[in-house]
Amino acid sequence: MIREGQIILFNFPQTDQVSGKLRPALVLRSLPDSHDDWLICMITTRLYYETAGIDEVIKMTDPDFSHTGLKLPSLIRVTRVAVVSTSILEGVIGSIPHSRLLRIRARICQWISDGNT
């Protein structure tokens, strides 16, 4: 069963609609309808893509790193989001604490509401 705050594997598509590759993604929120759809955001190990003040870096020294299922320091790319059906998610590898999830959601709201990047 998928839950908010979990890190899952998903074939995240490229922005040009070319099929993507299997990569981790963070489950942000269940959509408020009768479908089993979720808002997710991409995770990458390419830390140099970080948009300061928006994206979230997960370091190996973070106390919650061992629970994420990630193998390397990673970047939660808050501006790289998608809505997906549970049926195409490949599985859960880990999770983040609720406090980190709330911080990420707040950054998304701030980014969308004021447009600062």
Residues 6+ apart with CB under 8 A from 14: 20
CATH of region 6-114: 2.30.30.110
pLDDT digits (tens, 9 = 90+) for 51-81: 988 999 999 999 999 999 999 999 999 988 8
- Burial letters 38-66, b for 16+ CB under 10 A, else e: bbbbbbbeeeeeeeeebbbebeeeeeebe
Distance CA 65, CA 88 (A): 25
Binned at pLDDT 50, 70 and 90, residue 19 comes out as low
Let me know: does 49 contact 75? Beta carbons within 8 Å: yes
Query: Do residues 29 and 55 touch, judged by C-beta distance below 8 A?
Result: no
pTM recorded for the entire structure:
0.87
Report pLDDT digits (tens) over 74-108.
999 998 888 888 887 888 999 999 999 999 999 99
Per-domain boundaries in the chain:
6-114
Determine the Cα–Cα distance for residues 54 and 104; give it in Å rounded to an integer.
8
pLDDT tens digits, one per residue of 29-45: 998 877 788 999 999 99
In this prediction, what percent of the chain has a pLDDT beyond 70? 90
